[in-house]
Amino acid sequence: MVSIIGLIVIQYNYLKIGLNLAQVRFNQNIGKTIKTIKSDLADNNKLTFLLGKAITNDDTYFDTELDSLKNASIYFLHSFLEDRLLENGIKTDFSYKLYVRESELKLQSKSYKENDAKLKKYTIDLFGYLPNLADKNVGLELQFNKINEYFLFQLNSLNIPSFIFLVSIIFMVAWVLKSLYWHQGIITMTNDFINNLTHELKTPVFSIGLATKMLQQQENEKNKIYIEIIRNQNNRLKEHIDKVLQLSSLDKKSNALQFTKTAFTPHLKKLCEEFSAISKMEDVTFTYQITDKPYTLNCELMHLINAINNLLDNAKKYKSASSKIVLQSEQKNNKLHISIKDNGIGIHKKDQQNIFKKHFRVSSGDLYTVKGYGLGLNYVKKIVTLHKGTIDLESELQKGTTITIKLPLVKT
């Protein structure tokens, strides 16, 4: 909107400058025209002879009535003036009055208007033949009736394209805004739908969990494996539901997080211990190096731990044959660097800038054997950004990935 208003103001100023220039040019041309009219009407020639008779009401020479003589004079004077104006590049409506001063004698075109202040007027004092004949001063007044329209018409080659471009830009902006609102509406609708659906899924997932617990009490060799499958898959479903709901709450509220100053190291250690236990069961070598310093962060602990858990989960999910994961935390320049390094399948260069986008998953290779929704890293990025931190990614295909999050430390 600001750009459009700016363009209109610029166009308006251009128009004003253009009008001024057209006026200057007109004044120059009219100056030249007046000079030629003056010198042409100074001599005794066919035209001035006729005009002289008409303006002095002398119908003795021509064998005709005075009115016809005046009409003929008006006609010839008009074409004479039109010629002189055209010679100097002026092609616009005009009217005129040829008059003898201090008398009633005059000759005027039909459209001539007495005392109209709005009209542009030029008075020419004639010399030579006509004043001599009348024995008084003779003047010729030229009036231009539609001078502003004439100036605007001259600027048409500038005005019409600018108008067309301006209208096109306004149209484009309106169209872009309209489709933007339309898309926004669809995105909000889809998000609301997904969130409602996910919310609704929580109840059946909770019931399945409860029922599975009951079933476990009647567990035997035959049904044990099936109960285990139901329990695991139900847990995965629950995790995904939580992830979707967490992300949508982050999207909706700008102040979704409640920050408190927290000594972070003990919580990070606890997470590593838990992850270490899980890794052992899944044949993954997990080591961590955390210094004993407490490192105070202004954070929402639950989300930050969830984010790191997502990174560990990815390192475990996208593994190669003998999986090794290392978590390291250290202080560098008033920031806490937490890096998670794996020796897994790695990420192709072309995919690296996309993996933080919502729902993005690498589509090559046999990756789809690993389940996921492409939400984890988007969540991590949002959480780290809300904590005023940054994320670095280093990855090489078949060699492994290191993701480092850098969080500002609270000065103690």
Question: Which of positions 210-249 make contact with Mg ion (CB under 5 A)?
Answer: none
Residue closer to Mg ion (CB basis): 33 or 246? 246
Dist CA 138 CA 123 (whole Å): 10
Contact at 8 Å (CB) between 349 and 310? no
> Is residue 361 a contact residue for ligand ATP (CB under 6 A)?
yes
The smaller minimum CB distance to ligand ATP, of residues 300 and 342, is found at 342
CA-to-CA dists, residue 357 to 40, 199, 339, 381, 386, angstroms: 83, 23, 20, 9, 16
With CB under 6 A as the contact rule, the residue among 18, 128, 209, 372 that binds ligand ATP is 372
The Cα–Cα gap between 51 and 107 comes to 9
Q: Decide: is 376 part of the binding site for Mg ion (CB under 5 A).
A: yes
Roughly what angle, to the nearest 10 degrees, separates helices 147-154 and 156-217? 60
Which tokens hold the place of 219?
């567990």
Q: Does 54 bind ligand ATP (CB under 6 A)?
A: no
CA 405/CA 339 separation, integer angstroms:
6
Least gap, CB of 164 to Mg ion (angstroms): 52
The binding track of 329-348 with respect to ligand ATP, each residue x by CB under 6 A or -, is -------------x-xxxx-
Looking at 1-9, 85-93, 280-288, 353-361, which segment touches ligand ATP (CB under 6 A)? Answer: 353-361
Distance CA 361, CA 135 (A): 103
Q: Which one of 8, 172, 263, 367 is in contact with ligand ATP (CB under 6 A)?
A: 367
Taking the least distance from each CB to Mg ion, the nearer of 203 and 369 is 369
224: Cα separation from own chain's centroid: 61
DSSP string, 112-161: --TT-TTSEEEEEE--SHHHHHHTS-EEEEEEETTHHHHHHHHTHHHHHH
Shorter beta-carbon distance to ligand ATP: residue 142 or 347: 347
Using CB under 6 A as the binding rule, whether residue 373 contacts ligand ATP is answered as yes
The DSSP result for 60-74, as a single string, is: SSSSS-HHHHHHHHH
Gap between the Cα atoms of 338 and 380, Å rounded: 13
Q: Is residue 250 at the binding interface for ligand ATP, with CB under 6 A as the rule? A: no
Type of residue numbered 376: G
Does position 95 bind ligand ATP by CB under 6 A?
no
- Separation between Cα atoms, residue 88 and residue 81, nearest integer Å: 11
Q: Does 378 bind Mg ion (CB under 5 A)?
A: no
Out of 48, 314, 323, 343, name the contact with Mg ion by CB under 5 A.
314
Nearest distance from C-beta of residue 284 to ligand ATP, angstroms? 12
> At closest approach, how far in Å is the CB of 198 from ligand ATP?
13
Residue carrying the six token digits 């320049």: 333
- Minimal distance, residue 233 CB to ligand ATP, in Å: 14
Contacts of range 253-259, beta carbons closer than 8 Å, 24 or more positions apart = 256/386, 257/300, 257/303, 257/383, 257/386, 257/387, 258/300, 259/298, 259/299, 259/300, 259/387
What is the rounded CA–CA span in Å between residue 245 and residue 196? 9
Binding-residue total with ligand ATP (CB under 6 A): 24
Interaction mask 199-238, ligand ATP, x per CB under 6 A: ----------------------------------------
- In the bound complex, what is the minimum distance in angstroms from residue 314's beta carbon to Mg ion? 4
Instruction: Considering the complex, state which of residue 68 and residue 364 has its C-beta at the smaller distance from ligand ATP.
Output: 364
**Residue numbers of the site for ligand ATP (CB under 6 A)?**
243, 310, 314-315, 317-318, 342, 344-347, 355, 360-362, 367, 372-378, 401
**Residue numbers of the site for Mg ion (CB under 5 A)?**
314, 376
